[in-house]
Amino acid sequence: MRIYNTLTRKKEEFVPLEEGRVKMYVCGPTVYNLIHIGNARPMIVFDTFRRYMEYRGYDVNYVSNFTDVDDKIIKKANEEGVDSSVISERYIEECKKDMAAMNVKPATTHPKATEEIDGMLEMIGTLIEKGYAYVAGDGTVYFRTRLFKDYGKLSHKNLDDLQGGMRSLLVSGEDQKEDPLDFVLWKPRKEGEPYWESPWCEGRPGWHIECSVMSKKYLGEQIDIHAGGEDLIFPHHENEIAQSEAANGREFAHYWMHNGFLNIDNKKMSKSEGNFFTVREIGEQYDLQVLRFFMLSAHYRSPLNFSRELMEAAKNGLERIRTCAQNLKFLSENNKAQELTGEEKENLAKAQAFVDKFNDAMDDDFNTADALSAVFELVKFANSTAGEVSSRAYAKALLDILLTLTDVCGLIVLKEEELLDGDIEAKIAQRQAARKARDFAKADAIRKELLDQGIILEDTREGVKWRRA
Ligand code: AMP
Ligand code: ZN
């Protein structure tokens, strides 16, 4: 696998720190609103890369945070007259619903900034001890940017150019900095804001420190991949590197991956200009699998323009794959012939070429656009070689290949038919019979089979009750 590394500006062979394992951190959203389709881009693309790595046999530890303390959250909380945790918890729940609707797998861990304050106090303490940070008169703690000699290595920025730009940006209250380049690790509380005790002042953390701390806690001092949208390269990720490498004394992340921006009608998405959609709004107009397909139809590093035409094209593309999958399923269940013929065996060997093409595309810095082309070639091949006279085994084998590839993309192409109430009752009766016969393994297996299809059983005094999840 080759990955484009923002740090070196090159595609590099992927060599994990530990064989067979991947430690990956993806910067998550600030939760003050419903997520927009721009936020959905890193969620979808990095979830797809995770799925691909799992398919290639890696054990992926995937951590993605929720930033739940921030000016925008506090502003909204004050407007509504509630605690800021009410706002952040509300939008974390909404974000999780959107993720599920887009078939984005939950991370291994979803830490929240407000639950990791102790770790932040510890890392800031270490940075002060090592001389990388200092406490200003009002208790603000700043990072001494110039002392970290690799500063700028990710964004390829030169400190003196930065300094020129920063002078004009100096805002009041920052005159206590030793250097305009220094950035905040901890800041004093203001009226109406959440705050925590610290050795320096009652206050709250700066934004960057949370990711350095959560990444270390859940993945260790060194990780394989750190990812997010390209707007995070500077200053967020540059500052994360400075904090982590200064505190831990070793390289932080080996590969830095950044997705390009999602624009609307070729303009930057912006709330004020009204060219802005939430995932929820798009979900009212389209199946969100269409949004997922649309995101994967472009290379993740390229800018991507959201337009109705492209969404319609994505809808048609997905439909073509779905029709093929449904057709193969029907043939695999209804055709007369059962066993593979010699010609079908040869065709299956040919179909393997599309799998290889898919894998090659994904191995080349996750080229999902080319990977989807390989899926379409497979669809075309299936449409022309599978029909009523094919064997059930042939249709089933092609379907399995198609479902494996679409599952790596996180695309649901075959909706499981809903179990009918009668089928459920029949299964429950079988389970009761198994229990009576003290065949508990069988009873458990039936329970699990139903659960896998979203049916939950509850044993009550009045008998077994069931409901759909
Ligand atoms: P935020 O809530 O602004 O911190 O953003 C959460 C994630 O979404 C970050 O990885 C951002 O880089 C990413 N992001 C925000 N807006 C866009 C956009 N228009 N296109 C692509 N990614 C975005
Ligand atoms: Zn981050």
Q: Distance between CA 209 and CA 207 in Å, rounded?
A: 6
Does the C-beta of 273 come closer than 6 Å to ligand 1?
no
For the chain, percent of residues with pLDDT exceeding 70: 96
Å from CA of 237 to ligand 2 middle: 7
Task: Say what the pLDDT of residue 167 is.
Answer: 61
Task: Say what the pLDDT of residue 274 is.
Answer: 74
Residue 170 pLDDT level (bands cut at 50, 70, 90): low
Average pLDDT value for the chain: 94
HEC string for 84-138: HHHHHHHHHHHHHHHHHHCCCCCCCECCEHHHCHHHHHHHHHHHHHCCCEEECCC
- Residue 108: C-alpha distances to residues 24, 60, 62, 99, 367 (Å): 10, 8, 5, 14, 24
Pairing of strands 253-259, 223-229: parallel
Does the C-beta of 258 come closer than 6 Å to ligand 1?
no
Task: Say what the pLDDT of residue 454 is.
Answer: 77
Return the bridge partners of 133, or none. 143
State the ligand closest to the CA atom of 65: 2
Residue 335 pLDDT level (bands cut at 50, 70, 90): very high
Task: Say what the pLDDT of residue 233 is.
Answer: 97
pLDDT over threshold 60, residue 225: yes
Ligand 1 test: best mutation among 35, 39, 233, 240, most atoms within 8 Å of CB? 39
State the ligand closest to the CA atom of 27: 2
Closest CA to 129 of 187, 199, 183, 182: 199
Residue 165 pLDDT level (bands cut at 50, 70, 90): low
Residue 166 pLDDT level (bands cut at 50, 70, 90): low
Q: CA 239: distance to chain centroid? A: 22
Q: Distance between CA 225 and CA 206 in Å, rounded?
A: 23
Ligand 1 test: best mutation among 63, 95, 231, 232, most atoms within 8 Å of CB? 231
pTM: 0.89
- Residue 2: C-alpha distances to residues 23, 266, 344, 347, 361 (Å): 16, 30, 34, 30, 10
Q: For 371-420, what is each residue's pLDDT tens digit? A: 999 999 999 999 999 999 999 999 999 999 999 999 999 999 997 666 67
Task: Say what the pLDDT of residue 450 is.
Answer: 86
Q: Are 238 and 221 in contact (CB under 8 A)?
A: no
